[in-house]
Amino acid sequence: MPRRPKRVGPMPRAVVHCRTTEDVQLAIRLARDCGVPLSVRGGGHHWAGLALCAGIVIDLSGMNGVSVDADHLSAVISGGAHAADVAAVADPLHVAAVTGTCSAVGMAGFTLGGGYGPLIGRHGLALDNLLAAEVVLADGRVVVASRDNEQELLWGCDYERRDRSRYPAGTRTSTNVRPDETEIHAVSMACHTAVVSHR
């Protein structure tokens, strides 16, 4: 008898593949209007499958853009971007963001979940480097939380402090990037190389 893989969690009724913040707003309104559970899937790398629910799953994998600001001090990372996406943009500019050791991990969940990686000794957790987060709230409003605006919401974005599969839906984060130092660049390049060779 052939072995079949077991499901890791509940099966969603629908998966909404979002490409814009407006798509996320519509999905949240749909779930609210239909009275079904809602969860958000960023990188989809959580070991327990917490991005799944028995209702609607918002899939942010199509929102994987990354840009480094002109001053090379911060980066804007979309909700579905992986560590490899960040490395691909940051490496040519000789900067690096605090990432983990696995290139396939989604940066939003990694950052909002704390963000343990090889650079924490020098630059802190990924969450310590978070400057702002654009989130869609349960009522569909888009809010940018930062240290100067909506401070409590920024604090509440930390997955460790809340139910990890619930609101808000983080569609974009802004984080510190660091100048290219030998060990930082080596870790960043190792992440990027691992993904390129895997494809």
Q: What is the pLDDT of residue 158?
A: 63
Three-state SS at 186:
helix
Q: Which residues contact 88 (CB under 8 A, 6 or more apart)?
A: 66, 192
Beta bridge partner(s), residue 121: none
Helix (H) or strand (E) holding 135: strand 130-136
- Does a cis peptide bond (omega within 30 degrees of 0) precede residue 168? yes
CATH number for region 66-198: 3.30.465.10
Q: What is the pLDDT of residue 197?
A: 42
Q: What is the C-alpha to C-alpha distance for residues 115 and 98, in angstroms, rounded to an integer? A: 8
Strand 38-41 with 56-59, pairing: parallel
Q: What is the pLDDT of residue 104?
A: 87
CB atoms within 10 A of CB 86: 28
pLDDT tens for 32-85 read 999 999 988 888 777 667 778 889 999 999 999 999 999 889 999 999 999 999
Query: How far from chain centre, in Å, is Cα 196?
Result: 20
pLDDT tens for 105-132 read 899 888 888 888 888 888 888 888 999 9
pLDDT tens for 139-154 read 889 999 888 998 888 7
Q: What is the mean pLDDT of the chain?
A: 81
Q: Where are the domains of the chain?
A: 14-59, 66-198
**Residue that the structure tokens 């609210």 belong to:** 32
Please, what CATH class does the domain formed by 14-59 belong to?
alpha beta
